[in-house]
């Protein structure tokens, strides 16, 4: 299978890449940080020599770059799976967060998925096959303190997922919205937290991979995951 994963150099994105690499699929990966991206590719290729990995540094918050990445991916064939994982977290409150925060959060967390998916969909619709995973958040479901524009953008990504699912049902393309709670990733760097209190990125990756293996007649529409002891 051809699997596209954005924001794949670390955290949840890298963990998802590892699941599909272990199964020997062909991966198309991107992230903003070129060094982290190619380090991740080297690590995955060494660990899973039977998979094929192609990578391209991309700022998915830039619409032109997101579209160019989609065209690049199509040059190798029609994608079977898209994981729209690229995202950014900036904490704050609507009433006093830095000017431009909303625009930045929308560009990175929503427009990235919107523009890439739109480039890829005509070819996927033509073959009536594919599965799109949008990495939303529990911040897509409920407002919380210090969520601000990040939460707004994730609510929007969930709305995008629901509308896309309805549009693509007749074309045999599945859409799954993934809403993880607190997961060990770069967003938690520097935070002193009990590792038993937070999910591992591999937890999210495993359930995404399992969902991708269902028959064409079944789809997991929404995945909500939280630490076993509840939200942080």
Q: Which of 20, 15, 23 is nearest to 3 (CA)?
A: 20
Residue 24 near residue 49, CB atoms below 8 Å: no
Six-digit token pair at 120?
């890829």
**CA 93 distance to own-chain centroid:** 24
Six-digit token pair at 165?
């699912």
Catalytic residue among 48, 111, 150, 209: 150
* Number of Cβ within a 10 Å radius of residue 72: 15
Give counts: helices (H), strands (E), the chain: 7, 7
* Number of Cβ within a 10 Å radius of residue 98: 11
Please state, in angstroms and rounded to a whole number, the distance separating the CA atoms of residues 128 and 173: 6
* Residue count (the chain): 232
Catalytic residue flag (residue 150): yes
Q: Which of 184, 112, 116, 107 is nearest to 152 (CA)?
A: 107
Helix (H) or strand (E) segment spanning residue 223: strand 222-225
Q: Which residues are catalytic?
A: 150
């Amino acid at each position: 299978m051809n699997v596209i994963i954005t924001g794949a150099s670390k955290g949840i994105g890298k963990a998802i890449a590892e699941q599909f690499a272990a199964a020997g699929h062909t991966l198309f990966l991107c992230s903003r940080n070129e060094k982290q991206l190619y380090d991740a590719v080297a690590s995955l290729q060494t660990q899973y020599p039977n998979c094929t990995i192609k990578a391209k540094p991309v700022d998915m918050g830039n619409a032109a770059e997101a579209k160019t990445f989609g065209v690049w991916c199509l040059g190798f064939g029609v994608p079977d799976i898209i994981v729209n994982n690229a995202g950014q977290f900036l904490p704050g409150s609507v009433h006093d967060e830095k000017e431009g925060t909303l625009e930045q959060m929308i560009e990175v967390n929503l427009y990235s998925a919107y523009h890439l998916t739109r480039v890829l969909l005509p070819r996927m619709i033509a073959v009536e096959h594919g599965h799109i995973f949008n990495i939303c958040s529990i911040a897509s479901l409920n407002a919380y303190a210090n969520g601000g524009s990040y939460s707004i953008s994730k609510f929007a990504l969930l709305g995008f997922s629901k509308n896309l699912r309805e549009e693509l049902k007749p074309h045999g393309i599945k859409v799954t919205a993934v809403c993880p709670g607190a997961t060990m990733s770069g967003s938690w760097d520097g935070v002193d937290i009990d590792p038993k209190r937070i999910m591992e990125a591999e937890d999210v990756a495993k359930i995404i991979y399992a969902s991708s293996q269902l028959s064409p007649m079944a789809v997991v529409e929404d995945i909500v995951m939280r630490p076993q002891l509840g939200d942080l």
